[in-house]
């Protein structure tokens, strides 16, 4: 059901897989909305609760929502600005998570670790790998590689989020590889210490 509602009655979804907001992208989207308006309707679901005023949670269109709020905060949109939304009152929390995840994956605008976290939630909620493949258009191999990001150490997570290497290449370091590399470095340091002691002993003699 399409309806126009005030921007002030909308709120971000708690289940949104996006953890970080790209401010540059939001600025660009705000500029586009300023010029051409909102080209795609937001999808929302009612926030349920006794005695609550009418409010809606964003299911699809979180970036458009952020861009609209940015324009409103700057005074470029009136406080009573209304936006066209598609109201879905038949969605469970799992449905909301699934729709938000699939939309973001299809648009390829999540950070790699956000994708890994969102896919993990879908799998834990009972969505099969085949269903995720069908809904996102990603291959089973790609999904498995993204899920493998959950095993990265913090330093490697930072590299992924900063795009210092491609996270879905076959060369993603796993826990075993990291442990083997660390053991190799420790052994190398021990060899160097022993060599220094021998050299010092030979010099003293």
Q: 41-73 pLDDT, tens per residue?
A: 899 998 876 556 789 999 888 889 999 999 999
Cα–Cα dist 172/141, whole Å: 13
Task: State the CATH class of domain 1-93+100-107.
Answer: alpha beta
Cα 91 to chain centroid distance, Å, stands at 21
| pLDDT computed for residue 169 by the predictor | 41
- Angle, alpha carbons 16-22-23 (nearest 5°): 120
| pLDDT computed for residue 159 by the predictor | 59
- Pick from 98, 91, 150: which is nearest to 122 by CA? 98
List the domain boundaries for the chain: 1-93+100-107, 111-200
CA distances, 14 to each of 42, 59, 83, 148, 177 (Å): 16, 10, 21, 24, 35
Cα–Cα dist 107/109, whole Å: 6
| pLDDT computed for residue 82 by the predictor | 94
| pLDDT computed for residue 200 by the predictor | 75
Where is pLDDT greater, at 57 or 134? 57
| pLDDT computed for residue 5 by the predictor | 93
| pLDDT computed for residue 104 by the predictor | 67
Residue 91 has pLDDT above 90, yes or no: no
Residue 190 has pLDDT above 70, yes or no: yes
């Amino acid at each position: 059901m399409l309806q126009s509602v005030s921007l002030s009655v909308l709120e971000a979804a708690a289940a949104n897989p996006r953890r970080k907001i790209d401010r540059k992208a939001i600025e660009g989207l705000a500029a586009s909305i300023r010029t051409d308006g909102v080209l795609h309707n937001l999808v929302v679901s009612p926030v349920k609760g006794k005695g609550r005023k009418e409010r809606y949670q964003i299911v699809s269109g979180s970036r458009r929502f952020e861009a609209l709020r940015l324009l409103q905060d700057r005074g470029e949109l009136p406080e009573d600005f209304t936006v066209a939304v598609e109201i879905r009152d038949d969605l469970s929390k799992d449905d909301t998570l699934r729709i938000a995840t699939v939309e973001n994956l299809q648009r390829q605008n999540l950070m790699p670790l956000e994708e890994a976290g969102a896919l993990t939630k879908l799998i834990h909620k009972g969505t099969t790998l085949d269903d995720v493949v069908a809904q996102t258009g990603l291959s089973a191999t790609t999904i498995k590689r993204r899920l493998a990001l959950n095993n990265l150490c913090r330093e490697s997570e930072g590299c992924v989020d900063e795009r210092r290497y491609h996270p879905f290449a076959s060369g993603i370091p796993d826990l075993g590889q990291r442990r083997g590399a660390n053991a190799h470095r420790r052994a190398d340091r021990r060899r160097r210490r022993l060599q220094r002691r021998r050299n010092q002993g030979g010099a003293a003699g």
